[in-house]
Chain A
Amino acid sequence: GAVVSQHPSWVICKSGTSVKIECRSLDFQATTMFWYRQFPKQSLMLMATSNEGSKATYEQGVEKDKFLINHASLTLSTLTVTSAHPEDSSFYICSASPGPISGNTIYFGEGSWLTVV
């Protein structure tokens, strides 16, 4: 199946610093990628839709200036958590789809654990 790779798998950062998470589709091109965050024992919460070559579309309640998304190519999207605070600690997951040819199947990255201390 298609592969989506996410890096880093886990990161610990100090409060006030910024952290970048990368999401790559390894064997297909993805015009659109999606970023989620997940708290323990809860479902995936969609944060934003990342569109190649244009601005991301953020879900209501998600601060676009805090969670910067860049989709520079058809295989790479990045999420930067700026001025991180302990409440930003969470599991962040990206996903991408090859498109309608696969029934719009979504493939997920391994996820990135962010801990802000």
Chain B
Amino acid sequence: DAKTTQPNSMESNEEEPVHLPCNHSTISGTDYIHWYRQLPSQGPEYVIHGLTSNVNNRMASLAIAEDRKSSTLILHRATLRDAAVYYCILRDVSGGSYIPTFGRGTSLIVHP
């Protein structure tokens, strides 16, 4: 899977929107952009994924740049329970490399 880069940490206040960026300049045409988050002492959980168009679900929104070289995970109203490490990874569906590897992710701190 192609490499992604994320800021080490970000901070937000409760009930404010949070925009978590991810750069993936070497993305290929068959790579899906996936976001996961990991709460302390738990396994990661799936948040959202997309290919080209922006995506919304009950947890978050995913905004994908037109050239697909970057994306942003949007939490519309941060809560204390959103404090976690957020991982952005690429997943190839073409039958190529499929091993999911994770970087350090972004540690989100939410202030009450």
The B interface is mostly helix, strand or loop, or mixed, namely: loop
A111 near B91 (CB under 8 angstroms)?
A: no
Q: Is A67 engaged at the interface, CB distance under 8 Å to the other chain?
A: no
By the criterion CB–CB under 8 Å, are B105 and A106 in contact?
no
A52 and B100 alpha carbons, distance in the complex (Å):
17
Bin the interface of chain A by size.
20 to 34
Residues of chain A within 8 A (CB-CB) of B95 are 100
When the two chains form their complex, are residues A111 and B42 in contact, meaning their CB atoms are under 8 A apart?
A: yes
* A49 adjacent to chain B (CB < 8 Å): yes
Q: Say whether A104 faces chain B, with CB atoms less than 8 Å apart.
A: yes
Q: Which residues of B contact A1 (CB under 8 A)?
A: 46
A106 lies within 8 A of B100 (CB): yes
B82 interfacial contact with A, CB 8 Å: no
- Complex CA–CA separation, A52 to B77 (angstroms): 42
CA distance A111 to B34 in the complex (A): 20
A6 part of interface (Cβ distance < 8 Å): yes
Contact residues of A between 91 and 107, Cβ < 8 Å to B: 91, 93, 95, 97, 100, 103-107
Tell which of B41, B46, B99 touches A107, judged by Cβ atoms closer than 8 Å: B46
Chain A's closest residue to B94 (CB) is A100
Interface flags for A73-117 (1: CB within 8 Å of B; 0: not) read 000000000000000000101010100100111111111010000
B43 to chain A: which residues have CB within 8 Å?
A: 6, 93, 95, 108-111
Contact sample, A vs B, 28 pairs, CB 8 Å cutoff: A1-B46, A6-B43, A32-B98, A34-B100, A42-B104, A43-B87, A43-B102, A43-B103, A43-B104, A49-B99, A97-B100, A103-B49, A103-B93, A104-B32, A104-B91, A104-B92, A104-B93, A104-B98, A105-B34, A105-B46, A105-B91, A107-B46, A108-B44, A108-B45, A109-B43, A110-B43, A111-B41, A111-B42
